[in-house]
Each structure stands twice: as C-alpha cells, then as structure tokens.
Structure 1
Amino acid sequence: MRNLKQIVISIFDILRGSTIILFCYYFGKLLSNYTHGLLSGSVIGMIILFTALTLGLIKKEHVKTVAQFLINNLIVFFVPALVGATLINFTDISSSILDIAIIAIFSTIMVMTSTGLFVQWREKKEAKKNE
C-alpha cells in the first residue's frame, strides 16, 4: 500500500510540475503574439517561470522533478535542430559563410560574457545575503 501511495504522489508531482512549466510556456507564447515576436514565446515563458520562482509564487519543489528530467534529457531537444542543419544546402550559403562565422563568434562571446557577469552578480548577492 505504501508503494501505491508513493506512486500516486510521484504522478501528482509530475503532473503539477508539467502543468506549471507548460502554463508558463503557453502564456509566454501568448505574450509573444502581442509583442509581435519581439521575443520568442519560449524565452518569455522562461522569464515568467524564473520570475515566479524568484518571487516565491512557485515553489522550487513543485517543478524540480520535471525540470530535472528535462535537463537530464536535454540532448533530445537538439535533435530537430541537428536534422535541420544537415538538410541545409551549403552551396546556397557559401557566399555568406564569413558573415555567419562572425555572427556565431560574436554571439558566443556575448553569451559567455553575459553568463559570467550574471553568475558573478548572483554570487556577490548570495555572499551578502549569507553575511
């Protein structure tokens, strides 16, 4: 009987976490339509989820199980992009290869820099909080 109770609780946790994450995603898509695609719906959804977690509107434990599953299986979400990349006719983009390389390098540097600065800011904030 104890196992059945644990299974029901696990299923409930998965459903609750999935519902919260999907709600944030679809709400982000809805907002993206109103901003005429300024940001993608998935990015807006992640911002909503992050804000709700930061403000304590959503408890971390409510989405932890589903989020951990998604993170552990993240490679599956890159398969469509990889398949799409293999279908590109490289003769069509050969004239733009320098532009593409510059954009890829610049965007990589920007992401690395902004991530590093954000992590440093968060660590300083946590250090002040723990003092």
Structure 2
Amino acid sequence: PEFTKKDFAQLGFSNKEIDDIAWYVANHHKPEEILDGGNPEKITKKMRKFLSDAGYQKANDILDITISDRMGQYNPLQNNTDLTEITDLRKLLKQLHKEEGQFTIKELAINGSDIIKHFSLEPGKII
C-alpha cells in the first residue's frame, strides 16, 4: 500500500482517493481468505466481520474486484472462472446487510471522549 500511496500522490489524486485505493489494494484478497477454511459457519462469521470492518459498499466493491481478478487471469491453469463461490458470498453479504443492517462509528450516540468525561477515566487503549 505504501507504493500505491506514493504513486497515486504523484499522479495528483486526493488523500481520500489515495486512502480508498490503498485500502482496496490491501484487501483485494479478502474474499479468498473468507472462503479459505470452507465450512459455512466460519464463512458467515468471517463475512460478518468483514462487513462490519469494511462497510457494505466497500465489501461489495471487493467482490467485484475479485470477479475481475479471476476473469483476468492469463494462465489457464490458475484461472478460476467459476464464480459460484463469489456469487454465494455476494448473496451472503446482502443477507447479512439486510438482517443486521450497518452502522458506522460516526453514527454512534457516544464516543470514547464522552465515556472518559462521564466516568472521570484516564484516556487509554481500553476506552
């Protein structure tokens, strides 16, 4: 990701665009990691965590990138054009998003500063 940031900065991209691109580069193998280990309960658990960490739109974008990556493989021995697993992950993503919704830290009613102030605590990792 550091090379990505440097290269895109030289091309004149904004910091937000650079951060987004670097995130996609760093996480583009995430669907393969989610599928690794195979059993449906583990896949659901990993996908739920990824949805929570990334948000619905970015998780969905990563699935698009995975499809493109699989379809663009030159070597036929490495080319996995069977997109069934990715299609199933997308269905799972939509299901989890529908059932559990999605909120961000910014949407929470309180933050760490509120807790520190209310309970007269010292700032630290736990808060």
TM-score (norm 2): 0.28
Higher helix content, 1 or 2: 1
TM-score (norm 1): 0.27
Report which of the two structures shows the higher radius of gyration computed on alpha carbons: 1
